[in-house]
Chains A and B, each alone.
Chain A
């Protein structure tokens, strides 16, 4: 037994694992995967055959490289095996992974869980062991299928809760700064390799400090939650929205494969031109803001809600996440200096894009 096996054996208590897809696209130490308890099949058809013939506790499916056939592959794996299916997703693939674990298939779902990659094999094994060994896949037509142990569910829930704590802003429920930066870094990397574009909107709430001073910080928190709810509703499902500072928000508009955008009565491809689609969404957001009454204590008046923002696009305005944020931030400052309540596009500063024709 090699050193790698010695290290792995205590971690793979859940039973054999099948990795379907190219592990180098999901694991930082893909070379260590070979061993008696782990089978790797970079080819999906071979992986399905292995799943049908072997008895795997867990099948880890690498999303990257499976475009266009992932649903069919997952469906076949589900049919072939009773093992739990865990998706290995890049951050940019997280919306897709979420959809797949919620996608119905004859009373089941296409996948059971997902993990954000890249990760180390040891992390994958630890997570799989923790979850899968305590929740063995039920046998077909067995009463076990109906049974779920509360203690085991709570373990999975705890992992989910910790994940949430690490990536979510607890005040607004949006993504936090750490997640936004990491997502932006990965999505820019992907856009660079695939020749797609990414647009970043950074905005803050005008005069929030004044509301805080006048009505108290709880009122300020309510305003932030209102703004968060509005921007989330205006964006497309796959756009990533987060709070990155006190009253500062960021939205990453990116091209989801095969998705669609709803803008007014028109439906368009999510791969349409940048930053035009982002501008369209920003406009709708500003319109919604103007229609919204601020949730203030009774009898305190009904002031209007306003934001100032900056919009920067990759690769036009910057080639790294730092450059893009710096450019968007500069445009935001310019919007503030010009009188607030407007959104400036980098390189087009004298034109409020939220209101321009």
Chain B
């Protein structure tokens, strides 16, 4: 399969319309990376998108993604999507929900620019040009799921993961409990 065709299998779901900077940055980056970009009004329609999607990344405000007791994170994860939660100013009111979201594999970001690094890494991970072993195993959607599973730290170890180096950005982008404590001033 051509590289371009493979890349378009990765889907970015933008949840909601706020903050505008996050939405605009994500949209631009998705375009630049040749990734499909889907906009969902709320977490309910986002479920439809992840259930039908090939896997990829969901980007949106934490408050929206965390609706319905954060069940969306699990649904996204089992459909091969990683969640990238933007932390807005009302962080302090949500401090009890954050550890649970992290446990469910969500990424936390505080700056829209961080999306660029995540997308670059995600794109590099699933691209056959960068990871030759990937192209030999399974359908593109399966490969994306495997990569996302690796990124968010779930699923059984795959043979392909043992062949190449582990993507380093998991540690970079996942907010640790220590960082959270620092954020909350504890």
Contacts and interface: CB of A to CB of B under 8 A. Distances in A.
User: Are A and B part of the same complex?
Assistant: yes
Interface of A: 43-46, 48-49, 52-53, 69, 72-73, 75-76, 79-80
B51 A76 contact: no
Contacts of B47: 45, 48-49, 52, 76, 80
B48 A72 contact: no
A52 B47 CA distance: 8
A203 B120 CA distance: 72
Given A45-B43, A49-B50, 20 more contacts: A45-B47, A45-B68, A45-B75, A48-B44, A48-B51, A49-B47, A49-B51, A49-B75, A52-B47, A52-B48, A52-B52, A69-B44, A72-B42, A73-B44, A75-B41, A76-B42, A76-B48, A79-B45, A79-B48, A80-B51
B89 to A, nearest CB: 23
Interface of B: 41-45, 47-48, 50-52, 68, 71-72, 75, 79
A75 B42 CA distance: 10
A280 to B, nearest CB: 37
Q: 8 tightest A-B contacts by CB?
A: A52-B51, A76-B44, A48-B47, A80-B48, A72-B44, A76-B45, A79-B48, A45-B71
B51 A44 contact: no
A201 B22 CA distance: 54
A262 to B, nearest CB: 30
Instruction: Classify the interface of chain A: helix, strand, loop or mixed.
Output: helix
A76 B47 CA distance: 8
A317 B50 CA distance: 53
A44 B48 contact: no
Contacts of B50: 49
A79 to B, nearest CB: 5
A53 B71 CA distance: 17
B109 to A, nearest CB: 22
Nearest to B69: A43
Nearest to B52: A52
Contacts of B79: 49
Nearest to A73: B44
B51 A53 contact: yes
A302 B72 CA distance: 67
Contacts of A76: 42, 44-45, 47-48
A79 B46 CA distance: 11
